Chain A
Amino acid sequence: MADAAHTIGHVKDSTYFEVPNLFGAASESGHGAGPQPLRVDLPQPFQLDKPILGVSSDPNAVFEPFDLRLTKFMVVELVAGILMCVIFIRLAQKMRQSQSPKGRFWNMFEAMVMFVRNDIARSAIGKADGDKFVPFLLTMFFFILFCNLMGMLPWSGTPTAALGTTGVLALSTFAVVVGSASAKMGFGGFLRSQVPHMDLPGPMGFFLKPMIFVLEIGGMLIKHFVLSVRLLANMFAGHLVLAVILGFCIQVSGMLWFGVVPASILGAVALSLLELLVAFIQAYIFAFLSALFIGLAIHPH
């Protein structure tokens, strides 16, 4: 049980980074006999003594205490954001200078941008309306992709494996869906467009339409919630499996070790490759579904 919590603890957010501690002594509370990772605690300049929301005593609360503490995922997100700014502002400069950037690195990013614009925004929303949402979808796609890929770096973390992150991303998609549809047909029009056109006789429509409306609104909320959980579950589960497989290394002892360790390392390598694929697929799915929801909301029929 302690081990399960431990393994999950490696995938979840924390207030410290763990870095290799090559020559450190075996710690008493560590999980294995080898050198324990060095724990680098983040400074907490803003943390409040008393949380604004939530209680710090409940260790497994759904809402963790809101007390302005810095965590590992924030740092990773910040690094991902800075990387995005550096790469894409540079790409924009290059494209403004010469129209077509040279080199594999820049062409790779340009191809991804083109893909998001042509195959996500334009194909799901339509060419005329789609271009308005390209910046949002590009930010969404690359932020998720970079966060997912940051999780593949050793000693880093996967911010998209926390519901706090994916929930906010799904919430911003929801806000864009409601906002864009309301801007197009008014908030009332948006709500009315949730009820599909049906040829119902008067009294039946009177009863059925409110029920359908409730169902549709519920469905819309659920699909945005599922959007966040899908990304969370994929990233969380993938990294948990990696942690478990690598955890085999420290579970075994004796001569068995020599059989298990190579197998688990090879397994972790193979699953890491799979995770790389999943990182791209999940970013694509999140951005594509966001585009689909926006397209459905602004073209209701």
Chain B
Amino acid sequence: MKRNTRIWVAFSVLAACLAWLAPPVMLRAADDDHESAAAIETAADGHDEAEHHDAAHDDAAHADADHGHAVGNTNPLSIDLDLAMFTLIMFVVLFIVLKKFAWGPICEALDERERGIADNIASAQQMNADAKALLSQYDEKIAKAHDEVRLLLEEARRDAEHTQQGILAKANEEADSMRKRAVADIETAKVQALKEVSERGAAMAVDLAGRIIQAEVKPDDHVRLIEAALAEVPGPAPSQN
């Protein structure tokens, strides 16, 4: 849409220029026609055509002379020393001024920028290398930490197993000793009980016998009898405690 508008504007400007330039050109064309018509007329009038030609030629020559003055040297290879001098001064002055105020600072700035870029690249590479080194260092550390953790776990497991076995052994031992004590207690109790039973049996027997024989037996005899009787009873096993 916009482009179309632009094209139309350009086209109408061109058309306006043509319209503006056309009338004089058409006028000149009319003049030319008139002139040739006049020429024909003069020829028809019997005037010398050569004369007319001469006149035209003279006119052209005159115009040439006019132009010659205005146009000047038309040799394309001519050297105007004024222009050459001026150009030399211009070039030298431009060179000196621009070298001092433009090319020098610009080239310096370019060099500095290039150096800056090179430095940046170098430092970036350095940083990259550093980062890689750091990364491998950390990788190593992590691997080491993994190993350590594994070792720790193993140790812990071993410890646990060890502790477990210790506890089990101790428990077994304790249980064993408890059982043994219990057995010994039972033994003691049994001996006690047997002793008591035998004592009580003896007493009952003595009582019974005493009641049977009443006074026939004196307390001294009593004791003697009992001891005799006890001697016959098998003694209790010595206590293991």
Contacts and interface: CB of A to CB of B under 8 A. Distances in A.
B109 A95 contact: yes
A257 B22 contact: yes
Interface of A: 1-2, 4-6, 8-9, 12-15, 26, 29, 32-35, 39, 53-54, 59-71, 73-74, 77-78, 81, 84-85, 88-89, 91-93, 95-96, 99-100, 110, 113-114, 117, 131, 134-136, 138-139, 143, 159, 162-165, 167-169, 171-172, 229, 232, 236, 253-254, 257-258, 261-262, 265
A66 B21 CA distance: 41
Name the interface size band of chain B.
Answer: 35 or more
B73 A12 contact: yes
A132 to B, nearest CB: 11
Contacts of A74: 82-83, 86
Nearest to A134: B107
B240 interface: no
Contact of A261 (B18, B105, B108): B18
B84 A62 contact: no
Given A99-B116, A168-B88, 8 more contacts: A63-B78, A64-B78, A74-B86, A81-B90, A165-B83, A169-B87, A262-B18, A265-B14
Contacts of A110: 106
Nearest to A67: B82
B67 A29 contact: yes
B110 A168 contact: no
B95 A135 contact: yes
Given A66-B82, A117-B107, A165 B87 contact: yes
Nearest to B86: A74
Contact of A62 (B79, B97, B103, B108): B79
A92 B67 contact: no
Given A2-B67, A62-B75, A164 B80 contact: yes
B27 interface: yes
B112 to A, nearest CB: 7
Contact of A26 (B24, B32, B90, B106): B24
A91 B101 CA distance: 10
Contacts of A257: 22, 25-26, 29
B234 interface: no
B103 A68 contact: no
Given A163-B78, A165-B84, A59 B67 contact: no
A88 B91 contact: no
Given A34-B25, A164-B79, A99 B63 contact: no
Contact of A172 (B70, B80, B85, B91): B91
Contacts of A134: 103, 107
A88 B98 contact: yes
Contacts of A135: 95, 98-99, 103-104, 107
Nearest to B109: A95
B64, B72, B105: residue with the most chain A Cβ atoms closer than 10 Å: B72
Nearest to A58: B73
A34 to B, nearest CB: 5
5 contacts: A12-B73, A95-B109, A99-B116, A139-B91, A139-B94
Contact of A167 (B79, B99, B108, B112): B79
A33 B24 contact: yes
B212 interface: no
A92 B94 contact: no
A168 B84 contact: yes
A167 B113 CA distance: 37
A232 B78 CA distance: 11
B128 to A, nearest CB: 24
A100 B91 contact: no
Given A60-B73, A69-B82, A85 B14 contact: no
